Amino acid sequence: MKKFLIVDGSSLIHRAFYALPLLTNGAGAFTNAAYGFTNMFMKILGEENPGYCVVCFDKSRVTFRTEQYHEYKAQRKATPEELKPQFDLVKQILTAMNIAWEELDGFEADDLIGTFACQGEKQGLENLILTGDKDALQLISPQCTVLLIRKGISEMDRYDEKAVMKRYGLVPNQIIDLKGLMGDQSD
C-alpha cells in the first residue's frame, strides 16, 4: 500500500518559529521557522518515503467557522511580523521541491487535512498525518496514523488506534468529544 504524507504546514511552521531562536539570512530576512520546518519535513520524507505528499496551510484567520461564531479562536494572538513572510518562503521551498501544497479561502489547514485523509482512504492509501495539533487524532483509522510533534521540532509520537486507546482510553473518533468536554486551550 502506498503511503500518503499529509502535512499540517501551518502547525509545523508555528512550532518551528517558537522552538528555534530567531535566525536571519544574509539579507536580514527571518528564516528560523522556514529552517525548522524544512528540517522536520526532510527528516520525515527520508524516514517514511511516501509515494504521495501534500502540505496544507491556513489561508487566513477568516473561515466559515468565524463567520458562524465570531468568538472562534478570537483569543489567538496576532501572527508575529517576523513569522509572516516565512509562510511564503516555505511555500517557495516546497514548490522548488515539486511538493504539492494547498490552502483554501474559508477553510483551515485542519479541514484540508481531513478531506485529504478521507480521499486517501477511498483511494486505498496508507495515510500519515504530520502535525502538532491533537485535533488530528480523531482522523486515525486502520489506514491513517498521526505523527504528533510533542516537543520542540524533533520529538514526535506515532499514534494509531492502539496508541490512542492506551493514552486516552478512547477510540479516535471520541477524541473530539473529549476535547469538547475538557475545552481546548489551543483553540
The pTM of the full predicted model, rounded to 2 decimals, is 0.89
Kindly state the average pLDDT of the residues 63-85. Answer: 67
b vs e for 131-158, b when ≥16 Cβ sit within 10 Å of the residue's Cβ?
bbbbbbbbbbbebbbbbbbeeebeebee
Interval 136-168: pLDDT, tens? 999 999 999 999 998 777 889 999 999 999 999
- Residue 35's Cβ-count burial label (10 Å; 0-12, 13-18, 19+) is buried
pLDDT tens digits along 75-87: 667 778 999 999 9
How does pLDDT run across 79-108, given as a tens digit for each residue?
Answer: 789 999 999 999 999 999 999 999 998 888
Q: Which CATH number fits domain 3-49+57-91+101-126+139-182: 3.90.1640.30, 3.40.50.1010, 1.10.1200.10, 1.10.8.60?
A: 3.40.50.1010
Q: Count of residues for the chain?
A: 187
Domain borders along the chain are: 3-49+57-91+101-126+139-182
> Nearest CA to 82 among 152, 12, 10, 17?
17
